[in-house]
Amino acid sequence: MPALRLTARGPVSAIRLIAIVVLVAAACSNQQPTSSSTHSGLTSIGLPAAASATTSPQSSVGIETPSPSPSPSQKNATPTPLPTLARPTPTKAPATLSTSQVSLTRLVAGLSNPIAVSSAGDGRLFVVEQTGKVVIVQSGAITGTFLDVTSLISCCGERGLLGLAFHPQYAANGRFFVRYTDTAGNVGISEFHVSSDPNVADPSSGKLLLTIPHPSFANHNGGVIAFGPDGYLYIGTGDGGSGGDPNNHGQSLSTLLGKLLRIDVDHTSGSASYAIPAGNPFAGQAGLDGEIFAYGLRNPYSFSFDRQTGDLWIGDVGQDLWEEVDRATAASGGGRGANFGWSVMEATHCYKPATGCSTAGKVLPIAEYGHGANDSIGCAIIGGFVYRGAANPALAGRYFFGDNCSGTIWDVAAAGPASQTPQVLMSSGLNITGWGQGADGELYVVASNGGLYHLV
């Protein structure tokens, strides 16, 4: 089953993220979730009654569907100005890293469309396979399947099982969350629990928290979900697809697309299965979606938090010319209410209009790189974490990221200035599809060849 890299231009060609197309019907079962529309942007899905019973760990899962949550009715309202928040002081920038000080070591091969790596706070690595499974890697070997949700998803291209996040108190409560493209093409966030076997999830524990309609185009579905240092769940969403943000979702505050969202999964509000944190910048404002934490994003397929400083890092995939790295320091509010510019800006460059755009009120990237002729330098940024491990102290305090097409790996100083030229570290020869961080702060890379690599 060959994989196909998508880098063409135009409405369909904006699919430039994960560069893996595996057209296999076996990736999805014949069970199809039923759907019912809800208010303004949220849709509920549930498996047919015959499919919702408890099953074995390797069989299809059942999803408990929450009631719809309310949504604003007024469009394009003006947000209330944000207060200034006191934050920690950033760390000191490290010395320049030599290219001879970093390499990749392959840990395992044979993974199926791996796109992300997560940790439950112990020695295991959980690899997300786009076609619908989460597998465990431990001691340099694939030890089994933790979760199988192939029956819930549509795959592939930029669709599929795209993200995994373990609750900060996972060791005590066994809760974790997945992000996927459902069979209707929408973005779904669901909660699961581990079973009595710590290496197998309970497939009957599934509960749908949030569905974001994504009806028009197959690309720009986002990817990573992650818990921030504040204990809330963050969700990066693409702008709805096609090319050039035709619906102007990036700058609209009345849609969940083109955003970084923040929700409280430990509480509920009304009929919703989650709560909106009171500190969200637009919470409670008429006409604005309270889940929004930051906006102006095209396709934030990858984002992460520096585990030492709490700084937010986003790898936002560009249009045709520029890829960008966004940093929002904890000292500046961690990205709260930040406008990262799309689709007025593509990285630091005007997009709408092509010249003469205003950068007022926008957070410009800390680093960018151009595609080069025929995408020779890159086509889609895949970030990335700040290294906080101990295996190679020379890497400490640097943010690492790569590109899906060229396989190039760069770094910038995590505590460096607001504008940096990324340092080229290596040409890996891989189609990089995702990064991950272990419980010990070590960094990992997955690629379309089915390999999992340790950055050392």
Q: Is the pLDDT of residue 248 over 70?
A: yes
* CA angle, 24 then 177 then 306, to 5°: 110
Domain spanning 10-36+60-72+101-455, CATH architecture: 6 Propeller (2.120)
Which pLDDT score is estimated for 219? 85
Q: Is the pLDDT of residue 80 over 80?
A: no
Please tell me the least confidently modeled range out of 85-89, 189-193, 326-330: 85-89
Give the DSSP letter of residue 240. Answer: S
DSSP-H helix ranges across 121-216: 170-173
| pLDDT interval class at 69 (50, 70, 90) | very low
What's the rounded mean pLDDT across residues 152-160? Answer: 92
Which pLDDT score is estimated for 84? 43
| pLDDT interval class at 66 (50, 70, 90) | low
Q: Are 136 and 143 in contact (CB under 8 A)?
A: yes
Please tell me the least confidently modeled range out of 1-10, 153-162, 339-348: 1-10
What is the DSSP secondary-structure string of 32-90? --EEEE-STT-EEEE--GGG-S---TTS---EEPPPPPP-----SPPPPPPPP---PPP
Mention every residue, 6+ apart, whose C-beta is less than 8 A from residue 123: 138, 139, 438, 439
Roughly how many angstroms between the first and final C-alpha of the chain, as a whole number?
A: 31
What's the rounded mean pLDDT across residues 230-235? Answer: 98
Which pLDDT score is estimated for 90? 53
What would the pLDDT profile of 397-431 be if each residue is shown by its tens digit? 999 999 999 999 999 999 999 999 999 999 999 99
Q: Is the pLDDT of residue 8 over 50?
A: no
Q: Is the pLDDT of residue 203 over 50?
A: yes
What's the rounded mean pLDDT across residues 228-252? Answer: 95
| pLDDT interval class at 63 (50, 70, 90) | confident
Helix (H/G/I), strand (E/B), else coil: 327: strand
Which pLDDT score is estimated for 370? 97
Sign of CA dihedral 303, 305, 310, 311: negative
| pLDDT interval class at 293 (50, 70, 90) | very high
pTM metric for this prediction: 0.83
Q: Are 124 and 171 in contact (CB under 8 A)?
A: no
Give the DSSP letter of residue 441. Answer: S
Look up tokens 């102006």; give the residue. 296
Distance CA 17, CA 6 (A): 8
Q: Is the pLDDT of residue 16 over 80?
A: no
| pLDDT interval class at 62 (50, 70, 90) | low
What is the DSSP secondary-structure string of 335-404? TTT-B--TTTEETTEE-SSSSS---TT----SEEEE--GGGSS-SSEEEEEE---SS-GGGTTEEEEEET
| pLDDT interval class at 91 (50, 70, 90) | low
What would the pLDDT profile of 375-386 be if each residue is shown by its tens digit? 999 999 999 999
Distance CA 193, CA 200 (A): 9
Residue 279 Cα to chain centre, angstroms: 22
Distances (CA, A) of 169 to 120, 172, 234: 9, 6, 16
What's the rounded mean pLDDT across residues 243-256? Answer: 95
49 against 130, higher pLDDT: 130
Distance CA 249, CA 364 (A): 18
Give the DSSP letter of residue 98. Answer: P
Q: Is the pLDDT of residue 58 over 60?
A: no
Average pLDDT along the chain: 84
Look up tokens 């059942």; give the residue. 62
What's the rounded mean pLDDT across residues 312-340? Answer: 97
Which pLDDT score is estimated for 122? 95
Which pLDDT score is estimated for 235? 98
| Bridge partners for 269 per DSSP | 272
Which pLDDT score is estimated for 342? 98
What's the rounded mean pLDDT across residues 13-32? Answer: 36
Which pLDDT score is estimated for 10? 38
Q: Where are the domains of the chain?
A: 10-36+60-72+101-455
Q: How many CB atoms lie within 10 A of CB 336?
A: 19
Which pLDDT score is estimated for 64? 62
What's the rounded mean pLDDT across residues 426-447? Answer: 97
Q: Are 206 and 175 in contact (CB under 8 A)?
A: no
Which pLDDT score is estimated for 81? 53
What's the rounded mean pLDDT across residues 281-299? Answer: 97
